[in-house]
């Protein structure tokens, strides 16, 4: 997508579209899925949804991967006991999904595995299946984390909020 097209997409992206596609009931369902899945591994999942970026920031070069890393820091996803935070970042205006994993997870889960989840979610979103794609993405992340970062006998503290964050 060219920078001008990105600026226009972000100029006309709206909070209303975000709330229409992710109503409170879906956010509750996603939070429950995140909380339930975290019992099977030592990872912590955080889901952030953003309607659009500031058009001026896009003109200055801000893109979804950079913004995802900013949000990773802003929401303190990196601040977990086992360096086990994973951020799902969805930028609605540009139809972008980024997954940022903390160093403890990134050392064990290869980037193509995360990209496969993003691709499946993007395909689901493109066909209007916001609920299904979101819940399937969360389930796929839990499966990866359970395989590569399994829990132990100790209770895993819930270090990050389970409810998706609207930016």
- Supply the CATH number for residue 118's domain: 3.10.310.50
Shortest CA distance to 69 belongs to which of 42, 96, 30, 43? Answer: 96
Shortest CA distance to 48 belongs to which of 20, 76, 16? Answer: 76
User: What's the structural domain count of the chain?
Assistant: 1
Q: State the average pLDDT for the chain.
A: 90
CA angle 143, 147, 153 (to 5 degrees): 105
Looking at residue 79, its pLDDT comes to: 86
Interval 98-131: pLDDT, tens: 999 999 899 889 999 999 999 999 999 999 999 9
Looking at residue 18, its pLDDT comes to: 85
**Quick one: pLDDT band at residue 153, thresholds 50, 70, 90?**
low
Shortest CA distance to 76 belongs to which of 156, 144, 161, 140? Answer: 161
Contact 108, 146 (CB under 8 A): no
Average pLDDT over residues 22-50: 94
Q: Per the structure block, which two tokens stand in for 47?
A: 């889901």
Looking at residue 19, its pLDDT comes to: 87
pLDDT at 156 over 90: no
Q: Which domain holds residue 49?
A: 3-151+158-166
């Amino acid at each position: 997508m060219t920078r001008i097209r990105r600026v226009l997409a972000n100029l006309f992206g709206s909070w209303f579209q975000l709330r229409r596609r992710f109503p409170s009931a879906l956010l509750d369902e996603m939070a429950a899925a995140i909380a339930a899945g975290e019992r099977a591994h030592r990872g912590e999942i955080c889901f952030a949804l953003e309607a659009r970026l500031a058009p001026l920031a896009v003109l200055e070069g801000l893109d979804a991967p950079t913004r995802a890393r900013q949000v990773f820091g802003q929401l303190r996803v990196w601040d977990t006991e086992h360096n086990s935070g994973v951020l799902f970042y969805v930028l609605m205006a540009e139809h972008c999904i980024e997954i940022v994993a903390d160093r403890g997870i990134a050392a064990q889960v290869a980037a193509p595995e995360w990209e496969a989840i993003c691709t499946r979610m993007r395909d689901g979103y493109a066909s209007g299946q916001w609920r299904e794609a979101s819940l399937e993405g969360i389930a796929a992340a839990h499966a990866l984390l359970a395989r590569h970062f399994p829990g132990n006998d100790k209770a895993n503290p819930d270090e990050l909020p389970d409810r998706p964050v609207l930016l």
